[in-house]
Structure 1
Amino acid sequence: MRIIFRPWFHLSLKKKYQNILNKYVRRVIRMNDRIKRIKKSVVSVKPEVCTERLRIITESYERYKDEPIIVKRALSLRDILLNMSIYLEDEQLVIGNQASGIRRAPLFPEYSWDWIFKEIDEFEKRPSDVFYVNEENKKIMREILPLWKGKTLKDRVLKTQTKEVLEDKKVGVLGWEGNVTAGEGHIIMNFEKVLKVGFRGIVNEAEDKLSKLDYTDPDDLRKVSFYKAVKIVYSASSEFVERYIDLLEGKIIIEKDEQRKKELKQIKKNCENIEYNPPTTFKSAVQLLWFVQLISQIEANGHSMSMGRVDKYIYPFYKRDIDKGILNRDEAKEYIECFYLKLFTVIKIRPWSHTRFVAGYPTYQNIIIGGKNIDGKSDLNEMSYILLEALGDIKLSEPNFYIRCHEDMPKDFVDLMIKVIKMGFGMPALVNDDVIINSLIDRGVSKEDAYDYSTMGCLEVQVPGKWGYRANGKTKVNVLKIMEIALNGGVDPKSGIKTIEGIPEFTKFTDFDEVYKAYCKAMIYYMRLQVTADNINDIAMEELVPDAFCSGLVEDCIGRGKTIKEGGAVYDMISGALVGGPNVGNSLYALKKAVFEDKLLTLEDVQNAVRSNYEGIEGEKIRLLLQNKIDKYGNDNDEADDMVVKIYKPYIDNIASYKNTRFGRGPIGGMFIPSTVTISSNVPDGAKVGATPDGRKDEEPTAEGVSPMHGTEKNGPTSVINSVSKLETRKMTGGQLLNMRFNPTTVKTKKDEEKFYALIEAFFKKNGWHVQFNMISTDTLIKAQKEPEKYQDLVVRVAGYSALFTSLDKITQDDIISRMEYEL
């Protein structure tokens, strides 16, 4: 399908969009005083650890130890919802809390406990993602955590993983432990459904299915526990809301301020409206949206619990209330901004070994707007504008915000999009409808569902409410490490471990084809190891940590009587992310040109220089030759760019032939798909790799996503997008990440904005998947690094997510500072 972007002077603009522009676009930078105060309060909070969930679930698992696992987890979630602390925040209009205080991280010992116990005294000493723990909570943790020894998901996985997978922990190609130290997430539940039927509707559906089971049928018997669990958690969700209604009732009685008393009465009315039933107003719909998002976080701690096309499913409530005259636009926007600030309060704590891959406290709660429908027409509505304006007001790292781009976006919406991007906090990020829709259809997704896709987490995509966990997930594949092993006779030079047999010593290669074959052999080996690790993890997760609440809002789990992990979703395709691909391409191309074609160096020269980390005069001379004399990916050089295409090829061509544990159990797909969504793993993965033939030194970060390696892009942003566009993007169904940084002074005037959007248009015409921008100067970043107290709310784009710059460790900050600062 050909992509055509209209000129800026779009001749077919609809009058309603022009009116919206004239009336509201200026509001993008106006935040009311209430929102300013709430934002200041949540940003200033120091993250802490909360032990309430740890205590409650430990008691619950013992109390219900004889129940089927899914019923045990459902009853435990009920105990948490009915016994955790609840409170109201000053001035907030949307209520509901994750833990005993704002920005406090609950603990999930059923997944793993050992790292928490070991790091108790280290949480507040971390270089980034610091958490504070008071002495009372340290005592509670030390008393309770050891009770979980031998009972956790991680314990099971470590007992069942293969020797090769466990040995790789010493080598560092695969990053799979994030799958077993916390909940999975990486999913979009069916928010549209719960807004239509409410909590009671889900309970009624499960009850109806349960009543029709034939208990003489073994297949039906297997469904009994699931339906009971769904009833338990959705009934408990109503009771959770009821607790807030009771709390509000008491607060209303003692509230002295008449305006706040009025607001509390409205909030109580919102909660009463959704306690059992679907919402009937916009305000109650936003409140239900938040409760569903919140309970999913309390259930399983999964990050990337995303919300999909909020503008599409919340708009009918907005329009109905506007037409009735019971809501105005400013009120709606204020509620959305309160909702965004609640999303920012969600936080999770990870092991330091995992945190290094996802620095900046991210939870990746993704919202997407826009796109086109199956008739090819724009799906924008007035709520799309409000959601985007609210994003520009709040300017925080959550929600992670995306826009579905296509050829018929109205000019006024594009203007608003550019204005928000220029604010410099890395959002909104942009994805290309035509490429993604066709990529999904290629994988077996129906046309109707493909047109309804949403981004999830960083920038991965799935069909909302119909896809299983991890369309792209936590497993990272360090392809630069794979290359290093391939160029060292199958041995990891850092650990000395030999992982692959039959690969020649580096100096024995006689031509470049032998080098490439060795790399492909190593890639296939580790691809198979990734599949093995993921499937063993998945078997354990299915058996030990099923999620009734999340499964209740994913089609067709209730219809099939299966959890997501048993095959209940309509679609189930998962992927890991390939890290360091541009470096591999640059390194192999350097060998091809400098050694085998131009004879500038011998293999011995390169080997000695790399092993010495380019030390000495001769080593530095060789490094500069490899770095500067050999063309690099990102400069629109066909040969150099084609090498990056080739290094991804063995993975792309083979990964879909491997099956996940849901294959043949109901879902369409049941397979693995490729992705280059690296998050911030380019920093710790680079630390595992020695010097490489592209001129990169020992332990330096790799490139992130498919962005060129820092400092190698010499010909400007147009050449970058031309290079990226040559990759097999449509086959990267798990997501393809491009990060770019511009100096804000280059996009100041209207003409500059037109040039900037022309660049975006050109990229998407060339079938680019995704692009995101840091619109911030190097000078500002350096100042923020030196004086963090003055830049507490400075948000930057890290990879597929944004984070508070001052929350990042210095290595990650330096990595962001070192990225090329483009000009138009």
Structure 2
Amino acid sequence: MKNYYDGDIARSPRIARLIEDLYDHLPVIEAERAVILTESYQETEGEPVIIRRGKAFEKICHELPITIRPGELVVGSNTKTARGCQVFPEYSFEWLEAEFDTVEKRSADPFYISDETKEQLHEVYKYWKGKTTSELATSYMAEETLRAMEHNIFTPGNYFYNGIGHFTVKYEEVLESGFEGIIEKAEKELHRLKVSDEDYQKRSSFLKAAIMSCQAAIDYAHRYALLAASEAEKCKDEVRKKELLQIAANCARVPGRPATSFYEACQSFWFVQMLLQTESSGHSISPGRFDQYMYPYYEADMKAGKITREFAQELMDCIWVKLNDLNKCRDAGSAEGFAGYSLFQNLIAGGQDAEGNDVTNDLSFMCIEASMHEQLPAPSLSVRVWNGTPDEFLIKAAKLTRTGIGLPAYYNDEVIIPAMMSRGVSLEDARTYNIIGCVEPQAHGKTDGWHDAAFFNMLRPLELVFSSGFELGEQVGPRTADIAGMKSFDEFYDAYKEQMEYFIGLMVNADNSIDVAHAERCPLPFQSSMIDDCIGRGKSLQEGGAVYNFTGPQGFGIANAADSLYAVKKLVFEDKKLTLEEFKEALDDNFGKGISPQRVEELTARIAEQLGRAGVQAGENEIAVIAKTVRETPVPAEKQEKYDRLLQWIDELPKYGNDIEWLDMFARDVAYTYTKPLEKYRNPRGGQYQAGLYPVSANVPLGAQTGATPDGRLANTPIADGVGPVQGKDVSGPTATANSVARLDHFIASNGTLFNQKFHPSALSGIEGLTKFVSLIRGFFDQKGMHMQFNVVSRETLLDAQAHPENYKTLVVRVAGYSALFTTLSRSLQDDIINRTMQTF
């Protein structure tokens, strides 16, 4: 195959300036959208909610301030400042109001917020009390669900506090037909309805809201046409004046009408992407197969001599910069789990068409080149790999990996396509899949996947096996058998499965409650107008309008859970080196390495209770003294010696991740304790639950809420990320680790799996290093692994960046299913990346 494009065009000075402007200030929280939205809601009281949403979006498109940043070729920004963010009070607001005075100083993803903005938002929030989706969702949740969330068994934060994301719309339809074409389609459906139809009220309201929203997007673009023309009139620089006039012409045409050139297609794409983010605060709104739906416009312009490859590349580079301009503010806890200001906008290149032919093209290579030029976190570039993928394309992708920015991620068609088909997706739709957010596959333009619907910590149910479901004075989980009476590992493992199934059911209750709340309070007509078959069904996406409807919460901690359960099996039941009660005591005492906060609280409560029975009532000051004493009381020397011996025994056991087949198969069975029970559940949109196995970066903050575990992991330390082994426990090289991970059942985890590896830069040096690297990927995929992603950066560089962040402002690393600027991450997440095993060939 011809190597279409191999990096003969460098980053232009324009792109360098645009990137510099992105990062010369702290991101800013702006209030305009919240104010406009609230005014609209106050004006539409009593109207159907879908109409209110359409009118609110229309008002936002008409009144939100617009700006053209210096030097831009592709325009459209929902904030006045670069990397600023709007807020979305219809979903939740209490967390931001509580953080007004701390959001600028927090360790993860700080934002500047002015006193004026605080005052504006404080007034806005008065209206929204009792009206948010998060409040309604909470009211729907069962009492035991809320208790489980309080005890950090799982967290459904994505959609609990934010809008719906994790989707890819039909960008190609907007490019081919324009919003005028979508409006015409919706009007035809509206005219088919009869007022006597049983669902006329709902269908007609949705279609009217969709039409209203599409027209609002056209109006928004026309505002930019006028602004560009106005700026051109005042511009003294003839080169820039010509650029502004072309921008004005583009915005006057698209996205209202079909794109007639690659430049118009780029502008049309961007308006869609940016306005989707403006309608809803949901992240992972992913561009999908950009190289496929944009290629006809590029090819036609190239054949007609209307564009050069250099200018086409610069337009793409401009889009890559704009993707980094979009931003959102999360609560402090979520910011720790999604650190790096990421919006997870996944753009994927390569792969097959609906007939199974490889469709790698010139733009596929140029997507990689754009990320080489930018050296920025967004988009989350991915590549599809199958046995028809050209070697030239993988070598090009490997060269990008070698730069150290953690891009691209690699996905295996040979696993993902059949995994999707097992969930009811047609062969044709599965073959044209794209990735959403971190690692989640879906049929683009037809799916409401609710990916990332919750994070489920597989270690917390294991903790509760040791206490028969009891924790901190509450019966949190089922009252499983007392460990003192367990005679076999099977009894222990069955108790773990019982705890797992119970909490999976509660997680489903939480997700379904949130799902219903979004349908009732925040349907999204603009988003829904571009996903099949919402217009045909007369339903928003949130009401089940998509062809494919899923809910995809992810479990994480497989490596720790597998190593922990094996340690119990081997040390307690096979070698009989200690009892379960002795193991529990060691875990409660954190192996003597500093008592955990949970244990401090438990022992303090127990002592206060004993004092109460003796007639001594402990007040707040007395409780604080007791807690301080508990924290500072050292473990007796004899007990510490016993704990150190236990840690040595654990350390000597074989560990998942070292190509030990029987242990890897045990880990596969442990993963089934999450993936199999989840399959039986359905969501309110009529779709199936499907498991993912990845933590994003939540393995660090949620590990901080987890006690010590039998694999020797200390309390409140990170949990293993993704489906890879525990940090530092994979000691047999990258191929052995890949062999182990491949033995998990990636087909059942159809919501995605995540496999991180870290290489020293020397491992990918020269063509020999690149060739070995590509062979590793193909070998892992031949064994039916689903996904791989890489950090290529030395430990020394990361440690120096941690110590001297001012020297590494543009250092990008792979965090989880996304890349981020290293210096913007929390210290704990930086440490987690530093401590990942460094591989070499």
Structure 2 length-normalised TM:
0.93
CA contact (8 A) 2:138 2:513 kept: no
1:92-491 correspondence runs (5 A):
92-470=72-450, 472-491=451-470
User: Match for 1:771: what amino acid?
Assistant: M
Partner of 2:648: 625
Query: SS of the counterpart of 2:216?
Result: helix
AA aligned to 1:367 is L
Counterpart for residue 749 of structure 1: 766
Instruction: State yes or no: 1:565 paired with 2:565.
Output: no
SS at match of 1:392: helix
One-letter identity of the residue aligned with 2:86: P
CA distance, structure 2, for counterparts of residue 714 and residue 620 of structure 1 = 24
The alignment status of 1:762 with 2:779, answered yes or no, reads yes
Instruction: Give me the whole-angstrom Cα distance separating, in 1, the residues matched to 2:508 and 2:762.
Output: 46
Match of 1:11 in 2: none
CA contact (8 A) 1:741 1:776 kept: yes
- State the distance in 2 between where 1:275 and 1:376 align: 31
1:222–1:744 Cα change, 3 Å? same
Counterpart amino acid of 2:121? M
Residue equivalent to 2:685: 662
Structure 2 unaligned regions, length at least 5: 593-634
Q: Which range moves more in the overlay, 682-691 or 374-383?
A: 374-383
Task: Give secondary structure in 2 for the equivalent of 1:49.
Answer: coil
The structure 2 residue matched to 1:500, chosen from 477, 483, 486, is 477
Contact 2:354–2:429 (8 Å) recurs in 1:
no
1:273/1:280 contact within 8 Å kept: no
2:606: which partner in 1?
none
In structure 1, the partner of 2:627 is: none
Separation of aligned partners in 2, 1:622 and 1:220:
72
CA distance in 1 between partners of 2:768 and 2:95 (Å): 53
Determine whether 1:25 maps to 2:42: no
Q: Tell me how far apart the structure 1 counterparts of residues 332 and 14 of structure 2 sit (CA, whole Å).
A: 36
1:626 and 1:52 mapped to 2: Cα distance?
Answer: 60
Q: 1:418 to 1:204 in 2, by over 3 A?
A: same
Q: Per-residue deviation at 1:275?
A: 4.8
The alignment partner of 1:361 has SS state of: coil
1:7 corresponds to: none
1:645-724 map, 5 Å: 645-663=668-686, 670-724=687-741
Q: Measure, in 1, the Cα distance between the counterparts of 2:80 and 2:55.
A: 20
Distance 1:457 1:794 in 2: 21
Q: Cα–Cα, structure 1 residues 619 and 125, in superposed 2: closer, same or farther, change >3 Å?
A: farther
Question: Deviation at 1:626?
Answer: 4.3
Q: State the shift of 1:69 in Å.
A: 0.4
Aligned to 2:813: 796
Code of the residue aligned with 1:485 in structure 2: it is L
Cα offset, 1:620, TM superposition: 4.4
| Coordinate RMSD, CA, aligned | 1.3
Q: Judging changes above 3 Å, is the alpha-carbon distance between structure 1 residues 626 and 55 closer, same or farther for their aligned structure 2 residues?
A: farther
What residue in structure 2 maps to residue 605 of structure 1?
A: 582
CA contact (8 A) 1:199 1:238 kept: yes
| Residue 201 of structure 1: how far off its partner (Å) | 0.8
Question: 2:511 matched to which residue of 1?
Answer: 534
Q: Is the 8 A contact 2:478 2:498 kept in 1?
A: no
2:521 paired with 1:547: no
Is residue 185–residue 469 contact of structure 1 (8 Å, CA) maintained in 2?
no
Give the corresponding residue for 1:734: 751
**Preserved CA contact (<8 Å) 1:795 1:802:** yes
Whether the 8 Å contact between 1:614 and 1:622 is mirrored in structure 2 is no
SS, match of residue 452 in structure 2: coil
Q: Is the 8 A contact 2:449 2:548 kept in 1?
A: no
- Alpha-carbon distance in structure 1 between the residues aligned to 2:200 and 2:408: 46
Pairing partner for 1:575 from 540, 549, 552: 552
Shift of residue 433, structure 1, vs aligned partner: 0.5
State the distance in 1 between where 2:754 and 2:664 align.
16
The C-alpha deviation readout for 1:422-478, integer Å capped at 9, x for no partner, is 0001000000011100111111111111101000100101001000141x2231111
Mapped contact 2:453–2:551 kept (Cα < 8 A): no
Q: Which stretches of structure 1, 4 residues or longer, exceed 4 Å deviation after superposition?
A: none
Cα contact 2:438–2:817 (8 A) shared by 1: yes
Q: Distance in 1 between matches of 2:424 and 2:743?
A: 24
Structure 1: runs of 5 or more not aligned: 1-13, 664-669
1:52/1:100 contact within 8 Å kept? no
CA contact 2:683–2:689 (8 Å) conserved in 1 = yes
The answer on whether the counterparts of 1:579 and 1:681 sit within 8 Å (CA) in structure 2 is no
Partner amino acid, structure 1, of 2:529: G
Instruction: Provide Cα deviations, 1:604-660, integer angstroms capped at 9, x if missing partner.
Output: 332221111111532542453244111111011123222221222133222221111
Whole-angstrom distance in 1 between the partners of 2:189 and 2:739: 53
1:725 to 715, 721, 742: 742
Q: Helix, strand or coil: the match of 1:231? A: helix
2:785 and 2:91 mapped to 1: Cα distance? 38
Out of 443-452 and 212-221, give the one that drifted further: 212-221
Alignment of 1:631-642 (within 5 A): 631-642=654-665
Aligned to 1:6: none
- 1:81 to 2:61 alignment: yes
SS in structure 1 of the partner of residue 492 of structure 2: helix
Tell me which residue corresponds to 1:44: 24
User: Which whole-Å CA distance do the structure 1 matches of 2:691 and 2:743 have between them?
Assistant: 16
User: CA offset at residue 410 of structure 1?
Assistant: 1.8
Change in CA separation of 1:213 and 1:128 when aligned onto 2, cut-off 3 Å: same
Alignment partners' CA distance in 1, 2:718 and 2:783: 28
Q: In structure 2, what residue type is equivalent to 1:592?
A: K
Aligned partner (choices 43, 52, 65) of residue 63 of structure 1: 43
- SS at 2:693 equivalent: coil
Q: Secondary structure at the match of 1:404?
A: strand
Residue deviations 1:195-230 (CA, integer Å, cap 9, x gap): 111011111111111111111111233201001101
Summarize deviations over 1:276-303 as a string: whole Å, max 9, x none.
2111000010100000011100001110
Shift of residue 714, structure 1, vs aligned partner: 1.1
The one-character-per-residue Cα deviations of 1:111-138 (angstroms, maximum 9, x if unpaired) are 1111111111110111110001111112
- Note the C-alpha offset of 1:603: 2.1
Q: Could you tell me whether the CA contact under 8 Å between 2:107 and 2:825 is conserved in 1?
A: yes
Greater Cα offset, 369-378 or 725-734: 369-378
1:4 aligned residue:
none
**How far apart are the structure 1 equivalents of 2:80 and 2:18?**
18
Alpha carbons of structure 1 residues 256 and 627: separation in structure 2 relative to 1, 3 Å: farther
Q: Deviations over 1:91-113 (max 9, x none)?
A: 11000002222111101001111
After superposition, what is the alpha-carbon deviation per residue over 1:729-755, rounded to whole angstroms, capped at 9, x for unaligned? Answer: 111100010000001012112212211
Deviations 1:402-422 (A, max 9, x none): 000011222221221111110
Rounded to whole Å, the distance in 2 between the matches of 1:756 and 1:660 is 41
CA deviations on 1:9-39 (whole Å, 9 max, x unpaired) are xxxxx3xx14x2xxx41337x2111111111
